[in-house]
Amino acid sequence: MGARKGRAAGAVGGAGLQVDFAPESRRLAAVAMKRAEKAEKILQVLDSLYPAPAIPLRHADPYTLLIAVLLSAQTTDARVNLVTPALFERAPTPAAMAALTVPEIHAFIRTCGLAAAKAANIHRLSQLLLERHDGVVPASFAALEALPGVGHKTASVVMCQAFGVPAFPVDTHIHRLAYRWGLSDGSSVERSERDLKALWPESRWNLLHLQIIYFGREHCPALRHAWERCPICAWAGVKSRLLA
């Protein structure tokens, strides 16, 4: 009797047919799980997989990080890491970058998406760093976002990774996963940022930003995602969103 009950809890079938409903059981349990409880369990999984994630963009200081993050818009980090060594060897500071012409900067970054606009922005923001901030990258959201080509996400990455200021930069990976996991409604990047900040303490934001990015790349892709085998989606994913 005990063996039969045990079988019924996990499988149904006759004549040797075994149907495993464990993934569905995990999903149903997640439906009842409060968002805060889900967030805590997600945190545990991410900590186990990525206890000390590295910043994926190669850089030497706040200025080179700022330029690398600007270049990463609509361009992979791998591509950015291919073009920045030569660019930073030639122009490692705002003064050296401002001394180049826009076409010269463009020649270094031409394989990046939106290269022409990025070259112009890099040149002008380098000039403005000299004019407004004595050639130093400011540790201020407002001052950073006033620079050409620097939006809120870029400023957030620089603030948290260069200066250690709590921030939660939301890129496409984080926005997608917050929606899949039912942590936000997917209506906007701004909404995802607000919802994620509300779930986890400030002390964890900077690390979580990197952990979720790596998880999205390695375990939770946008296309052809085997969510049943995903370390998080298998139990935390909202099924209607996973199948969309």
Model confidence pLDDT, tens digit, residues 158-202 = 999 999 999 999 998 899 999 999 999 999 999 999 999 999 999
Q: Which of 47, 171, 197, 239 is catalytic?
A: 171
Please identify which of the residues 153, 185, 197, 239 carries the catalytic annotation: 153
pLDDT of residue 14: 42
153 is catalytic: yes
Mean pLDDT value across residues 74-91: 97
Query: Using CA atoms, how far apart are residues 55 and 142, in angstroms rounded to an integer?
Result: 23
Taking the C-alpha atoms of residue 62 and residue 68, their distance in angstroms, rounded to an integer, is: 10
The mean of the pLDDT values for the chain is 89
Q: How far apart are CA 46 and CA 231, in angstroms?
A: 9
Residue 234 has pLDDT above 90, yes or no: yes
Is pLDDT above 80 for 219? Answer: yes
What's the pLDDT band for 10 if we cut at 50, 70, 90?
Answer: very low
pLDDT on residue 23: 62
pLDDT at residue 2 in the model? 45
Three-class DSSP category at 127: helix
The stretch 17-30 carries a mean pLDDT of 53
Question: CATH for 27-49+167-242?
Answer: 1.10.1670.10
219-241 residues labelled b (16+ CB within 10 A) or e (exposed): bbeeeebebeebbbbbbbbbeeb
Question: Catalytic annotation on 5?
Answer: no
CATH class of 62-163: mainly alpha
Q: Which of 178, 207, 212, 209 is nearest to 192 (CA)?
A: 178
Task: Break the chain into its structural domains and give their ranges.
Answer: 27-49+167-242, 62-163
